[in-house]
């Protein structure tokens, strides 16, 4: 049996518990008298109390009620913003009609159906004055050579491989193009953007116009991007303007043996019973830019896509937006590379600003907390 001896009638286990409690109190007093511990504890309490959600929780019910009223106003603002973007889409459609005659003439120059006049071909470069001075100095010396070179210089029709060159220049597009896609893209003559008609759901169509070729019979390949410009009922505060929500491609009528989106492989099969081996041929998907016209469908049945599918769909939407906003309106500058240089310079400027802000963070922490721009 255990020895439950006591002192003055008090059990020993009670004495031990009292002693432990006394030690804990002394330790707590010592810790709370430590300035470093107090400072760390105070900082932690301040951080907790300064989080927005914890602050809202401390407010009186009457104030929370008014905040809910503000949120209702915010939802109404989001719906007004959605109407604003619908009108912007109408304006885009209106001005697209004004741009189109210029884009039609662009196509005629590219294909060589029309030759630009001297006035239409005149362009003043940034280095025009320097070029003029240099030309005046050398003119008398090299005039004969120039005449000979001009006589021998080839004069191809239009601007050869115009759109294909843009595909090569733009990283976002060149990553999609395989070597066997290149001869097909050299037949691409124009890319157009068509906006949805008034009263129809918001969308736009990319039209890729091809000259007759040995690969498919289509003269036009299309990609339709469906858009939504309304706040999400479940999360209305996430609305930031129209977004692409789905896309449809088209059927490419490939000529026999010319479909670059599939490849034929040979596979050996062994008969389970007889043990004989036969070789079969099978078609499997192949990487190609022309898979662009057979897009992944956004899930419409409530089922979520896996991570890879979501990334593929997001990339597709980004490419469609880039064609619409950048490539088609500014095609010549992507052909010459000037637009790409502008994009690179803009990105470098952004990085420089980030570096400056990081430098400010070290010396001006309080100020940085106030200057927190919305991305």
The CATH number of residue 209's host domain is 3.30.1120.90
Domain identity same for 32 and 105:
no
Distance from C-alpha of 306 to C-alpha of 319, rounded to nearest angstrom: 20
H or E stretch at 241 = none
Q: How confident is the model at residue 320 (pLDDT cuts 50, 70, 90)?
A: very high
Q: What is the pLDDT of residues 203-220, one digit of tens each?
A: 999 999 999 999 999 999
Instruction: For residue 143, tell me if it sits in a domain.
Output: no
DSSP string across 151-220:
HHS---SSSTTHHHHHHHH-HHHHTT--GGGHHHHTTEEEEEEEEPPTTSPSEEEEEEEE-S-SSBS-SE
Instruction: For residue 360, tell me if it sits in a domain.
Output: no
Q: What is the pLDDT of residues 217-274, one digit of tens each?
A: 999 999 999 988 888 888 888 888 788 888 999 999 999 999 999 998 888 777 777 7
Instruction: For residue 201, tell me if it sits in a domain.
Output: yes
- On the question of pLDDT at 42 being above 90, the answer is no
Distance from C-alpha of 201 to C-alpha of 242, rounded to nearest angstrom: 12
Q: Report how many domains make up the chain.
A: 2
Give every CB contact of residue 244 below 8 A, 6+ residues apart in sequence. 225, 226, 227, 317, 320, 321
Q: What is the pLDDT of residues 62-101, one digit of tens each?
A: 988 999 999 999 999 999 998 898 888 899 999 999 999 9
Domain identity same for 199 and 228:
yes
Query: Bridge partners of 206?
Result: 193, 223
Domain identity same for 181 and 213:
yes
Instruction: For residue 112, tell me if it sits in a domain.
Output: yes
Structure-block tokens of residue 283: 């078609």
Domain identity same for 27 and 97:
no
Domain identity same for 54 and 83:
no
Instruction: For residue 2, tell me if it sits in a domain.
Output: no
Per-residue confidence (pLDDT) for residue 207, from 0 to 100: 98
Q: Closest Cα partner for 164 from 115, 210, 102, 101?
A: 210
Domain identity same for 217 and 97:
yes
Instruction: For residue 364, tell me if it sits in a domain.
Output: no
What is the mean pLDDT of the segment spanning 109-128? 88
For the chain, what is the mean pLDDT? Answer: 80
Q: How confident is the model at residue 358 (pLDDT cuts 50, 70, 90)?
A: very low
Residue that has been written with the tokens 């721009």 in this structure = 373
pTM for the structure as a whole:
0.70
**Percent over 90 (pLDDT), the chain:** 43
Domain extent, residue 233, equals 79-116+157-256+292-298+306-343
Domain identity same for 174 and 90:
yes
Domain identity same for 83 and 212:
yes
What is the mean pLDDT of the segment spanning 273-288? 83
Q: What is the pLDDT of residues 167-194, one digit of tens each?
A: 999 999 999 999 999 999 999 999 999 9
Domain identity same for 51 and 85:
no
Residue 258: count of CB within 10 angstroms of its CB = 13
Domain identity same for 111 and 31:
no
Instruction: For residue 321, tell me if it sits in a domain.
Output: yes
Distance from C-alpha of 34 to C-alpha of 251, rounded to nearest angstrom: 76
What is the mean pLDDT of the segment spanning 330-340? 94
Domain identity same for 183 and 244:
yes
Domain identity same for 25 and 112:
no
Instruction: For residue 311, tell me if it sits in a domain.
Output: yes
Per-residue confidence (pLDDT) for residue 362, from 0 to 100: 43
């Amino acid at each position: 049996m255990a020895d439950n001896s006591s002192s003055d009638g008090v059990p020993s286990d009670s004495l031990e518990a009292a002693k432990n409690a006394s030690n804990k109190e002394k330790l707590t007093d010592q810790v709370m008298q430590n300035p470093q511990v107090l400072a760390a504890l105070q900082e932690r309490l301040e951080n907790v109390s300064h989080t927005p959600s914890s602050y809202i929780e401390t407010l009186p019910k009457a104030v929370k009620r008014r905040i809910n009223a503000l949120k209702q106003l915010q939802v109404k603002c989001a719906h007004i913003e959605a109407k604003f973007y619908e009108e912007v889409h109408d304006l885009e459609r209106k001005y697209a009609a004004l741009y189109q005659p210029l884009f039609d003439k662009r196509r005629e120059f590219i294909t060589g159906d029309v030759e630009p006049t001297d006035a239409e071909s005149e362009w003043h470069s940034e280095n025009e004055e320097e070029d003029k001075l240099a030309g005046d100095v050398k003119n008398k010396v090299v005039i004969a050579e120039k005449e000979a070179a001009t006589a021998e210089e080839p004069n191809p029709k239009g601007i050869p491989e115009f759109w294909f060159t843009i595909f090569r220049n733009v990283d976002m597009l060149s990553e999609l193009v395989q070597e066997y896609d290149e001869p097909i893209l050299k037949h691409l003559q124009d890319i157009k953007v068509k906006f949805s008609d008034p009263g129809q759901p918001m969308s736009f169509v990319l039209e890729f116009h091809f000259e007759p070729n040995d690969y498919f019979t289509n003269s036009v390949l299309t990609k339709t991007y469906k858009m939504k410009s309304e706040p999400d009922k479940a999360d209305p505060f996430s609305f930031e303007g129209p977004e692409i929500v789905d896309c449809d491609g088209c059927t490419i009528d490939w000529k026999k043996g010319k479909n670059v989106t599939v490849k034929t492989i040979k596979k050996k099969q062994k008969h389970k019973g007889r043990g004989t081996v036969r070789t079969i041929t099978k078609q499997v998907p192949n990487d190609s830019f022309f898979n662009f016209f057979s897009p992944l469908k956004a899930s419409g049945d409530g089922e979520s896509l896996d991570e890879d599918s979501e990334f593929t769909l997001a990339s597709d939407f980004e490419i469609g937006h880039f064609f619409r906003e950048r490539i088609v309106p500014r095609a010549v500058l992507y052909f010459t590379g000037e637009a790409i240089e502008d994009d690179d310079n803009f990105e470098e400027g952004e990085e420089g600003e980030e570096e400056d802000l990081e430098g400010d963070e070290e010396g001006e922490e309080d100020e940085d907390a106030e200057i927190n721009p919305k991305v």
